[in-house]
Amino acid sequence: MKILITGGNGFIGKNLARLLKQSEKDEIFIGTHSLVTGENFINFPFDNVALMDFELASHNFDIIYHLASQSSVYQSIQQPFDTFELNVTGALSLLQLVSKKYNKIKLIFTSSAQIYKTGSEKLSEEIEIQAKSPYALSKLFIDSFIRMSAEKIKLNAIIIRQFNTIGAGQRDSFVMSSFAKQLAGMKVLDNEKKMSVGNLEVFRDFLDVKDTVRAYKILKSADVKTGEIFNVCSGKAIEIKECLNKMIEISGISDVKVEIDPLKYRKDDLKVLCGDNRKIKALGWEPLIPIEQTFKEMLEYWEDKLMMEREQQC
């Protein structure tokens, strides 16, 4: 199979490409918005339909994983128009092109758990949806459009509703990676033992990125109907405060002072976000990696990165 991963240079995209490249049967291409040199990298800007058309015609892809998006809720609040330009306008450009000229391509689109109307129960794919941020609204629009198009024009697409993915290499704008970087800085750079945090009293469903991309791989060849939706999640919610305490314990650092940063604290944060993963598990997938192992790998990643940066400055 010939596979294109848009946003393939991002956190999940890199891990997905690494996993798929293990198969000798698949040829993997990374689509980026700007020209990046490297084997099987292609320039695939969503504001240039002619260039996208050229690349699709040239490569005859079987599958497109559409991962490219602005994925930060906080950033979407600060920059709503930029978020919609990429997450909505960009995705629509791709969908229109594929539906008109390349409808044999199977599209796997990443949506978000942020679109769900939350409650105390686990969130199944059938539960009511309700966007509460520009990011969630942008994902909801394309999520709904794909489901409508699957019925009306038989667009060959399935939807992943992604819950919180974490792991080594994630940007520190995400909460767990921020914690890991701060703790690594205390070890490597002798930074003050003070953690800057946001709202610790919310519960999230965290999944290691390596488990996440295994689910994505299964969906590549799954015999499911067009427009089908799959939650990708651990099925368990854990309080952010507990995660922080676990990570501090794993780091071995004592007497860490925790301070709330008003700029990071959002009162309107969803209280609980926990997914029902029975549909994806029915395809033979299971989450395998304990959260403690993920935290350990994230801490090691940031320690190595900060150490390397320090040595380069010397």
- State the residue for tokens 């399935």: 158
- State the residue for tokens 């703790």: 183
Reported pTM: 0.94
CA distance 33 to 199: 33
pLDDT, residue 182, reads 98
Exposed (0-12), middle (13-18) or buried (19+): which is 139, by Cβ within 10 Å?
Answer: buried
What is the dotted CATH code of the domain comprising 175-203+236-270+289-313? 3.90.25.10
Considering just the CA atoms, what is the radius of gyration of the chain in Å?
20
| DSSP code per residue over 164-217 | EEE-TT--TTSHHHHHHHHHHHHHHS---SEEEE---S-EE-EEEHHHHHHHHH
Q: What's the mean pLDDT in 214-231?
A: 95
State which CATH number among 1.10.600.10, 3.90.79.10, 3.90.1150.180, 3.40.50.720 fits the domain covering 2-166+206-232.
Answer: 3.40.50.720
Residue 264's pLDDT band (cuts 50, 70, 90): confident
CA distance 161 to 143: 9
In the chain, which residues fall in CATH 3.90.25.10? 175-203+236-270+289-313
Could you read off the pLDDT of 2-60 as tens digits, one per residue? 999 999 989 999 999 999 999 888 999 999 887 666 778 999 999 999 999 999 999 99
For residue 151, how many other CB atoms are within 10 A of its CB?
10
CA distance 172 to 302: 10
Q: What's the mean pLDDT in 59-69?
A: 96
In the chain, which residues fall in CATH 3.40.50.720? 2-166+206-232
- State the residue for tokens 């395809």: 283
| DSSP code per residue over 17-51 | HHHHTT-TT-EEEEEESS---STTEEE--TT-HHH
Name the DSSP letter for residue 89.
I
Q: What's the mean pLDDT in 258-268?
A: 85
CA distance 39 to 133: 37
Q: What's the mean pLDDT in 275-284?
A: 97
Residue 120's pLDDT band (cuts 50, 70, 90): low
